[in-house]
Structure formats: structure tokens, C-alpha cells
Structure 1
Amino acid sequence: MRHQAKWLLAIVILLFLAPAQAHHGWVGGETIEIEGTITAVRLGNPHGELTLEVNGESWTVEVGQPWRNERAGLEESDLAEGVELRVSGEHSGERLLKAEQLWIDGEHYVLYPGRI
């Protein structure tokens, strides 16, 4: 009976970890690049989110956690309303992009070095 309980516990743990990995990890989506103007910002954990106006459509762009953005050389003022940027990353759904790298005023910032 004790052996069965260990297997049951292992299965339950895996079931809870799978959705977290799918949400926070990459799931093999297409890498795309978009360019637009930031219209809304929410920075913080588990990751920051920008609303980007791209050709008349609003896109949600997930950027890194505060420490990851800082490590890439970004300051909070770089990700503010009105800033124009180009961003490359994984297209993760309808008008949703997980940013891997971005460009602001010709400066290049890499959020996830292992992904590019």
C-alpha cells in the first residue's frame, strides 16, 4: 500500500506542475516580430505585461520579471506608455507575444539569451 501511495503522490505532483510549465514556459509557438506603441503597462511578477498598439490592434506582450528586465539593461522608464518599440518573441495566442528580445530607439535588449 505504501508503494501505491508514493506513485499516486508522484502523479498528483506531475499533474500540478504541467499547467505551470505550459503557462510560464514556451510551448513551441512561432517566433514573430511586431512593432508598435505601448498604451498600457503592468510590471511585476510573475512577469510584466505591456499592451502594444500594432496597426490598430491591441497586442499583449509579456516581458520578463523585474530582475530579468534589469539584467537585460531595461529601466522602468523604458517600458512606459507612449514608448515605441519593436519586439521579437513567441506568438502564444491571438495577439499575445512572449517577448524574447526588443529594440527601443535602436537599443537592443535581450530578455531570454538562451532562446535566440
Structure 2
Amino acid sequence: MKRLALSVLLLSLPAAVPAHHGWAWTTGKNIEIAGRVVEAKLGNPHGVVILDVQGARWTVEVGQPWRNERAGLKDRDFAAGVRLRIAGEPSADPKARLIKAERIFIGDRRFDLYPERD
């Protein structure tokens, strides 16, 4: 019985990972949000930035370290208090307040994380 339970658990794990990563969880349409960085956790498999958008907290998936670097972003660009405008695909669940960034704007600077999607 323990083997069966372990097998079921192990078989279910790979299916759970693709459900979040990639684009399948998004709406497939772009929106823009703007706000100030509350906190950022950068790294693999991708960075996560919490943005205060008019009093609501949004979770923004930014790129992997290599993708951010390729776009010209520095870790300091995600420091608390920095104002960002994000263009990207939101979660299909509107209550999630989650968006996968395709482009990041800081002032008049534009950073394309996924130029291959343009």
C-alpha cells in the first residue's frame, strides 16, 4: 500500500509543475499595470516581484536571471520603492492578481523580456 501511495505521489508531481510555468495559466492577452515595488525575490526558475498597484498587491513573474540580464535589467531595478509599469499576460484567474511580465518600463526605459513573442 505504501508503494502504491508513493507511486501515485511521484506520478502526480511532474504534472503539477507545468501547470504553473510557461504560459498555459495566463489569459493569452496583454494588460498593463503600474505600481511600486514592495519586495522582490530574484533567481531561478524566475524572479517574483510584489507590486503595490493602487493599494492592491500584484505578483509579477519576471524573467530568469539570464533573461533579465539580456533585457538590460539589473537587480537594483527591482528595489523596494521603484515604480514599474508592467505589460504582460495576467492569470486566467482574475482573483490571483498575478501577471507574467513580457515588458517592463522604468521611467522612459523599456525592457523586453520576451522579444521572441512580439
Counterpart position of 2:98? 96
Q: After TM superposition, give the deviation of residue 22 of structure 1 in Å.
A: 2.7
Give me the TM-score of the superposition, normalised by structure 2: 0.80
List runs of 5+ in structure 1 lacking aligned partners. 1-11
Unpaired segments ≥5 residues, structure 2: 1-9
Q: Percent identity?
A: 52
1:42 aligned partner: 41
What is the CA deviation profile of residues 30-75 of structure 1, one whole-angstrom value per residue up to 9, with x for unaligned ones? 3211000001110011110000000110000010011110000001
Match of 2:7 in 1: none
* Residue in structure 1 matched with residue 4 of structure 2 by the alignment: none
- The answer for the alignment partner of 1:9 in structure 2 is none
Number of matched pairs? 104
Report the equivalent of 1:22.
19
Answer yes or no: is 1:87 the counterpart of 2:89: no
**1:52 has 2:51 as partner:** yes
Higher Rg:
1
Please tell me the root mean square deviation across aligned C-alpha atoms, in Å.
1.8
TM-score calculated relative to the size of structure 1 = 0.81
- Deviation track 1:8-48 (CA, whole Å, cap 9, x = no partner) reads xxxx98x7654333311102513211000001110011110
Runs of at least 4 residues off by over 3 Å: 15-19
